[in-house]
Amino acid sequence: MKLRALEERELILAIRKDFSRFDKDLILGIGDDAAAVRAGKRYLLLTKDLLIEDFHFITALHPPYFLGRKSLSVNLSDIAAMGGRAKYALLGIGLPSRTSLRWLEDYFSGFKSLGREWGVLLVGGDVSQSKEIVISVTIIGQAKNIIQRKGARPGHLLFVSGELGNARQGLLLLKRGFKLGDDPRADPLLKAFLDPLPQLALAQELSRLKLASSMIDVSDGLSVDLGHLCEESGCGALVEQEKLPLSRELRFWQKRPYEFALHGGEDYQLLFSLPPEKMDSISGLKKKYKVSCIGKMIRGKEIYLVDRRGRRKILEIKGFQHFKTK
């Protein structure tokens, strides 16, 4: 059996089962956005992502400054999804000999700029030669109140931050040759793909105020990540299509904006559930952050999509396939 036939998800489940020993300080192992370890009164959060050339980014399309930022922000998004804050970063980077010093300077300049924005210090890592560019970032963060994937209950409301589908449309436009600055109607979409902003501030408020009963970041697409949330929480969900937050720009370029919002991937927004009695508190947050109620958690295992006419159908789970080789 070759790996081609093996889904990443299945592999992670197999590893998770295999390594499911715990020690007294380990609160969360494999299977959430980050691992959590008790450290005094707080929790230490540990997360790691790989970015591999031609699978996660295309060097010719991705300015190195933004790639530097993105390689940090996709990890910060995992820390955000736990309601934490990021403290330290380790960076492993494999570079082909064709890499220019200029590219590298821009990459680090971007990495540094986002690190500075969120108070994250680069404390170590590794540099190696490689055939393609390989980036592995590890973040060590901390949290007082962890928000896990599990915790949603039937009746809890389902919220998402920001807008959905922009990044996927941005990638399409990049592939069609659009560059930042070419068209003001394209720029927000290009930006969403090239330089996603981690939702740390909102996440930290949700953690501090103990509002969210569960949370995940939308990295693989709403349908996939909502699937994880439901599975871990042991319930289903109902998503109202009309309530999905779509940007004007996505509607402008895309005839099937809802498809992109549901399955687009790389949005790095937060998806969280909220007990209904906390609706008042969330309205306070709405003054500072864009958050939209897109449905609710329900009994059972199914995830339904309700269309504008109120018709309910099973939401197909299909996520972003990166740049999968054919």
Among positions 119-138, residues that touch its own copies (CB under 8 A) are 121-132, 134, 136, 138
The least distance separating its own copies from the CB of residue 168, rounded to whole angstroms, comes to 18
Cβ nearer to its own copies, comparing 111 with 193: 111
Q: Which residues contact 5 (CB under 8 A, 6 or more apart)?
A: none
Q: Which is nearer to its own copies, 124 or 155 (CB)?
A: 124
**Segment 95 to 114, residues that bind its own copies, using CB under 8 A:** 95-102, 104, 108, 112
Residues 217-276 interacting with its own copies (rule: CB under 8 A):
none
- CA–chain centroid gap for 180, Å, is 23
**Beta carbon of residue 224, minimum distance to its own copies (angstroms, whole number):** 14
Q: Does 18 bind its own copies (CB under 8 A)?
A: yes
Quick one: 143 or 261, whose CB is closer to its own copies?
143
Among 68, 94, 162, 170, binds its own copies (CB under 8 A): 94
Report how far Cα 323 is from the mean position of its chain's Cα atoms: 17
- Taking the complex as a whole, the smallest distance from the CB of residue 195 to its own copies amounts, in Å, to 20
Q: Which two tokens stand for residue 150?
A: 């599990």
Asked if residue 1 binds its own copies (CB under 8 A), the reply is: yes
Q: Is residue 48 near its own copies by the rule CB under 8 A?
A: yes
Nearer to its own copies, 309 or 324 (CB): 324
Query: Rounded to whole angstroms, how far apart are CA atoms 188 and 169?
Result: 10
> Do 156 and 213 contact (CB within 8 A), yes or no?
yes
| Cβ 264 vs Cβ 164: under 8 Å | yes
Contact flag: residue 314 with its own copies (CB under 8 A): no
By CB under 8 A, tell whether 58 contacts its own copies. no
State which of positions 137-196 bind its own copies (CB under 8 A).
138, 140
Cβ at position 243, least distance to its own copies in Å: 31
CA 295/CA 165 separation, integer angstroms:
17
Q: Check residue 24 for interaction with its own copies (CB under 8 A).
A: no
Helix axes 101-118, 64-81, angle to 10 degrees: 30
Q: Are 195 and 69 in contact (CB under 8 A)?
A: yes
Q: What is the DSSP string of 190-224?
A: HHHHHSPPP-HHHHHHHHHTT--SEEEEESS-HHH
